[in-house]
Amino acid sequence: MPSTYPAELVSIEGPDAIAFAQSQLSSNLASLADGQWQFSAWLDAQGRVRALFHLVRLDAQRLRLLLRGGEAGALAGELQRYMFRAKVRVAALPAQQLATVDAMPLHAAMEQDDILLLGCGSHGLRLVADGDDDWRLPQLRAGWPWLVNGTPGELLPPWLDLGALGATALDKGCYPGQEIVARLHYRGGSKRQLHRLALSRALPPGSVLDVDSKASIHMLDVVPVNVAAEALAVVHESTLGALRSGIEVTHDGLPVSMQVIAP
């Protein structure tokens, strides 16, 4: 079965590739070595997550952005608006699929015969023409979110736990949304968090569920597990207490039970 999610890829190349990415993206490239990847994001001025991706440094002049949701063409087009006089080329590469391969060290990256491989600890990812979905459950259980259709530009970094993933930096210069990231980190105030849920049945990724007349649960990735499912969801704090004990809600006229899975 082909992969549910395509592998959308953006390339950033040129003598100023690192400096350009450092000024635009939310992670700190100073800690990223050749042959490594880190989580990163591109935020808007209000700190909302416009794109989330694996940021791969192949060498000092070649970066790859493997998107976790969204369209490479749209992201490349937006980034091109900020190139100014930088000696850099930004382009969307042809979409591929993700295939699961044997375990590779976490954050390792390499390109072999123009094929990109990423190490994810318990497994590896390989970009190919025909992929699979075997990588989705271990990444969901690791707390690695995927931006489903409709979510880019809606979610704040703390809602996706991007600080814990190292995707947002507090120790580098300015980048779009940096002030909001710092304010939320030091002052708090976020009422939504990312949680892993056990579901009695699979729901479509992107589903928004109302609890007590509030849009309290926003499903991101949902993976069937036997006859049930597991999900990563953005949960409002007002619902979290009930979810710890387990609740039943209605989606498309049918009941679904769900409960937070303890870390």
- 35-55 tens-digit pLDDT: 999 999 999 999 999 999 999
- Give the H or E element holding residue 181: helix 178-187
Res 152: pLDDT: 67
Q: pLDDT > 90: what percent of the chain?
A: 84
Q: Is 79 helix (H, G, I), strand (E, B) or coil?
A: helix
How crowded is the C-beta side of 105, counted as CA atoms within 13 Å? 7
* Residue 1 scores a pLDDT above 70: no
Q: What is the mean pLDDT of residues 115-141?
A: 96
Res 96: pLDDT: 94
Res 150: pLDDT: 66
Domain(s) of CATH 3.30.1360.120: residues in the chain: 6-187
Residue 80 contacts residue 10 (beta carbons within 8 Å): no
CATH 2.40.30 fits 192-260, yes or no: yes
- Domain 6-187 sits in CATH at 3.30.1360.120
C-alpha span between 48 and 29 (Å, rounded): 20
* Residue 60 scores a pLDDT above 70: yes
C-alpha span between 145 and 93 (Å, rounded): 22
Q: Is 184 helix (H, G, I), strand (E, B) or coil?
A: helix
Res 189: pLDDT: 77
Residue 158 contacts residue 193 (beta carbons within 8 Å): yes
| Span between the terminal Cα atoms of the chain, in Å | 30
Res 213: pLDDT: 73
Q: What is the mean pLDDT of the chain?
A: 93
Q: What is the mean pLDDT of residues 172-177?
A: 92
pLDDT tens per residue, range 187-246: 887 899 999 999 999 999 999 998 887 778 999 999 999 999 999 999 999 999 999 999
Domain(s) of CATH 2.40.30: residues in the chain: 192-260
Q: What is the mean pLDDT of residues 57-61?
A: 97
Res 63: pLDDT: 98
- Using pLDDT thresholds of 50, 70 and 90, give the confidence band for residue 169: very high
